[in-house]
């Protein structure tokens, strides 16, 4: 991760095919495109990759979350439970629909804590959105049980976890709906793009129409199509889909490299007693896009982060002070800093953020270091990196 590190002839071929054909839009212009449908081809490939009946490509992972929720009827005033550790897009996608993000604690998987989810359910709760952060998963059996018992949608944001599996199923394919991102720093990239996957035909049809202004996509004349309901523009282009089509064919190659590099780094740290690794639920297999581990406390973690920076070991983060991925610094959400008026319903629904205690999440995030696994490293570079990380951690533990 990310796939752009290994761009090559296959990506160029697919992109040039679109440019030579001349049709950059995924819909319409049937007579001009000479049978070239990159988005449709990519959707077909992803059906196999995700073992899912239906795939709808969209313009981003953020769009995928909004489209997935909308396709299942989530909207104004509904509450969607989500984790404190994710990307800001998670709550943005919920709020765009007029729904209310209800943030709850994570556990040692770095995913949603099922007990915290159960405690947060109200009469307004419509969905639980589990975010499979950094290539691994939350306790999916427990979360599925909570959702089933309470008649709630289970939506998987698997944007960072393509290639991971749980009990043999691809992450993203376990819930009622799954969401993926193919932005520039994902394991496979379209440059910008995303996908909604589901086995539910109604949700798929809704996603198909909603993501293209409500077009029903019936017949071969786009101008004659009807609009069964309101929609918006979350379309992907043929250029972006062409890049993704090349990349998804290379996914096994990318995952093998990630796993090899991941295992070298993990082995180097595994015999340091003070280092513990994130919990992967039984039956789970990480995508190996990131190596996540815990240190004894925040002070030591910060020393290690500083040591890694000084040692020029890049792409390692502690998210405790990060404004992108953790609730602690999401002041724009807590203070509702918006360019436009926020509805009174959403304002009232988010008042809990002023007093909510997330110390259980702090316990994990404060001690966590997350290291991106790059595809472009040589084996010597990975081994050198592993040795440096090991010595930096040991030095911080002694000081």
The pLDDT tens digits of the residues spanning 121-143 come to 999 999 999 999 999 999 999 99
Q: Taking residues 282-300, report their average pLDDT.
A: 98
Evaluate if pTM is beyond 0.95: yes
Whole-number Å distance between alpha carbons of 151 and 37: 38
CB atoms within 10 A of CB 355: 6
Helix (H, G, I), strand (E, B) or coil at 166: strand
- H or E stretch at 372: strand 368-372
CATH number of 252-398: 3.90.1150.10
Q: Taking residues 307-332, report their average pLDDT.
A: 97
Q: What pLDDT is stored for residue 383 in this prediction? A: 98
Distances (CA, A) of 243 to 188, 333, 397: 9, 34, 44
Residue 73 Cα to chain centre, angstroms: 21
Q: Read off the pLDDT of residues 254-272 as tens digits, 9 standing for 90 and up.
A: 999 999 999 999 999 999 9
Q: Taking residues 356-385, report their average pLDDT.
A: 98
Q: What pLDDT is stored for residue 291 in this prediction? A: 98
Per-residue three-class SS string for 194-208: EEEEECCHHHHHHHH
Angle at the Cα of 15 from the Cα atoms of 11 and 17, rounded to 5 degrees: 120
Let me know if domain 3-250 sits in CATH 3.40.640.10: yes
Q: Is the pLDDT of residue 239 over 90?
A: yes
Q: What pLDDT is stored for residue 331 in this prediction? A: 97
Whole-number Å distance between alpha carbons of 376 and 39: 27
- Residues of the chain with pLDDT > 70, as a percent, come to 100
- Please provide the average confidence, as pLDDT, over all residues in the chain: 98
Q: What pLDDT is stored for residue 379 in this prediction? A: 97
Contact assessment for residue 266 and residue 259, using Cβ atoms and an 8 Å cutoff: no
Q: Read off the pLDDT of residues 362-374 as tens digits, 9 standing for 90 and up.
A: 999 999 999 999 9
Q: Is the pLDDT of residue 330 over 90?
A: yes
Whole-number Å distance between alpha carbons of 289 and 164: 9
Q: Read off the pLDDT of residues 156-188 as tens digits, 9 standing for 90 and up.
A: 999 999 999 999 999 999 999 999 999 999 999
DSSP 219: S
User: Among residues 349, 344, 340, 351, which one has the least CA distance to residue 78?
Assistant: 349
User: Among residues 254, 263, 252, 261, which one has the least CA distance to residue 380?
Assistant: 261
Whole-number Å distance between alpha carbons of 290 and 266: 10
Whole-number Å distance between alpha carbons of 203 and 200: 5
Q: How would you classify the pairing of strands 177-181 and 153-157?
A: parallel
CATH 3.40.640.10 domain position(s) in the chain: 3-250
Residues with Cβ < 8 Å from 321, sequence gap 6 or more?
A: 328, 329
Whole-number Å distance between alpha carbons of 95 and 72: 15
Q: What pLDDT is stored for residue 375 in this prediction? A: 98
Q: Taking residues 81-85, report their average pLDDT.
A: 99
Q: Taking residues 2-11, report their average pLDDT.
A: 97
CATH 3.90.1150.10 domain position(s) in the chain: 252-398
Q: What pLDDT is stored for residue 399 in this prediction? A: 86
Q: What pLDDT is stored for residue 342 in this prediction? A: 97
Q: How would you classify the pairing of strands 177-181 and 125-131?
A: unpaired
Whole-number Å distance between alpha carbons of 16 and 277: 44
Q: Taking residues 327-354, report their average pLDDT.
A: 97
Q: Read off the pLDDT of residues 86-112 as tens digits, 9 standing for 90 and up.
A: 999 999 999 999 999 999 999 999 999
Contact assessment for residue 126 and residue 99, using Cβ atoms and an 8 Å cutoff: yes
């Amino acid at each position: 991760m990310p796939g752009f590190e290994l761009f090559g002839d296959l990506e160029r071929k697919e992109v040039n095919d679109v440019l030579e054909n001349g049709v950059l839009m995924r819909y319409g212009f049937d007579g001009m495109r000479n049978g070239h449908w990159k988005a449709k081809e990519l959707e077909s490939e992803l059906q196999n990759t995700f073992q899912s009946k239906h795939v709808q490509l969209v313009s981003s992972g953020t769009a995928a979350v909004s489209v997935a929720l909308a396709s299942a009827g989530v909207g104004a005033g509904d509450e969607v439970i989500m984790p404190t550790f994710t990307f800001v897009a998670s709550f943005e996608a919920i709020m765009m629909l007029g729904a209310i993000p209800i943030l709850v604690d994570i556990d040692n998987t770095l995913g949603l804590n099922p007990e915290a989810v159960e405690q947060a359910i109200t009469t307004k709760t419509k969905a639980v959105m589990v975010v499979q952060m950094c290539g691994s998963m939350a306790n999916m059996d427990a979360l599925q049980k909570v959702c089933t018992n309470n008649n709630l949608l289970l939506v998987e944001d698997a944007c960072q976890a393509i290639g991971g599996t749980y009990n043999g199923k691809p992450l993203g394919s376990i819930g009622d709906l799954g969401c993926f991102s193919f932005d520039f720093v994902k394991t496979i990239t379209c440059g910008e793009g995303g996908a909604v996957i589901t086995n539910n035909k109604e949700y798929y049809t809704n996603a198909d129409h909603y993501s293209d202004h409500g077009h029903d996509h019936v017949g071969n004349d786009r101008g004659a199509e009807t609009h069964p309901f309101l929609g918006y523009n979350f379309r992907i282009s043929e250029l972006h889909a062409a890049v993704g089509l090349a990349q998804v064919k290379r996914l096994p190659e990318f995952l093998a490299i990630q796993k090899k590099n991941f295992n070298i780094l993990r082995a180097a740290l595994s015999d340091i007693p003070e280092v513990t690794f994130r919990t992967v639920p039984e039956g789970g297999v990480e995508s190996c896009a990131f190596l996540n581990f815990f240190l004894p406390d925040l002070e030591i973690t910060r020393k290690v982060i500083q040591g890694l920076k000084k040692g020029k070991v890049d792409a390692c983060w502690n998210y405790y002070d990060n404004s992108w991925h953790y609730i602690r610094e999401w002041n724009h959400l807590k203070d509702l800093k918006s360019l436009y008026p926020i509805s009174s319903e959403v304002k009232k629904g988010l008042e809990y953020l002023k007093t909510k205690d997330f110390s259980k999440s702090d316990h994990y995030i404060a001690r966590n270091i997350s290291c991106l696994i790059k595809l472009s490293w040589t084996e010597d570079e990975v081994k050198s990196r592993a040795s440096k990380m090991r010595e930096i951690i040991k030095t911080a533990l002694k000081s």
